Chain A
Amino acid sequence: EDQVTQSPEALRLQEGESSSLNCSYTVSGLRGLFWYRQDPGKGPEFLFTLYSAGEEKEKERLKATLTKKESFLHITAPKPEDSATYLCAVQEVGSGTYKYIFGTGTRLKVLA
């Protein structure tokens, strides 16, 4: 069964302490991998799309990278406002449908 696994489930960082979140997937062929940020009680907010291994995208303190089996979301010198749940989703090549497979997310807490 196609799966998307995110780790860790939860992460606590001190302000300024850089770290990485992982998203691994087992789909047979990747059409696209997406990262979202979700604040409590709100809908997810789109961050990045990655389409091919080796691709990187950056936005402020966030940098997303992609390999053939996983993606990393690197957070450099995080601030308390970066606290949120980060979701990863993939679309599989040849699925014939417009569907994502979502991971369960990483809950990030950045302490001042």
Chain B
Amino acid sequence: DGGITQSPKYLFRKEGQNVTLSCEQNLNHDAMYWYRQDPGQGLRLIYYSQIVNDFQKGDIAEGYSVSREKKESFPLTVTSAQKNPTAFYLCASSITAWGTLYEQYFGPGTRLTVT
């Protein structure tokens, strides 16, 4: 079955540690995205990538880093510089063409708790 996988589902870390969240898709989509979701704030864009080896900062990129070495994979690293990293993290992918963004397909999410 085609889809997006995120791992792990739950992640616990101590403050000051970097942590990497995995996102893999087999939908053959060019574009991939990372969002952060906090209660009452909706989805906020962290980073997005329209093509392999290229990515752009979203609205809240500070304290995060990404890489896009393969079309299928878009890992997100939450660094110790992120002041409030505890949140629900969602990865998504989509088809893009001629400036049009088509519907996004989301993974199941990773809930990160930092203490």
Write the residues of chain A forming the contact surface with B, with a CB cutoff of 8 angstroms: 31-32, 34, 36, 41-46, 49, 87, 89, 91, 96-100, 102-105
Q: List 23 A-B contacts (CB under 8 A).
A: A31-B100, A41-B88, A41-B109, A43-B90, A43-B108, A43-B109, A44-B43, A44-B90, A45-B106, A46-B103, A46-B104, A46-B105, A49-B102, A87-B43, A98-B31, A98-B48, A99-B58, A99-B101, A100-B101, A100-B104, A102-B43, A102-B44, A103-B42
CB neighbours of A103 from chain B (8 A): 42
The answer, among B42, B56, B58, B108, for a CB contact under 8 Å with A104, is B42
State how many residues of chain B have any CB contact under 8 Å with chain A.
30
Whether B43 contacts A42 by the Cβ 8 Å rule is: no
CB neighbours of A99 from chain B (8 A): 45, 48, 58, 101
CB neighbours of B17 from chain A (8 A): none
CB neighbours of B4 from chain A (8 A): 43
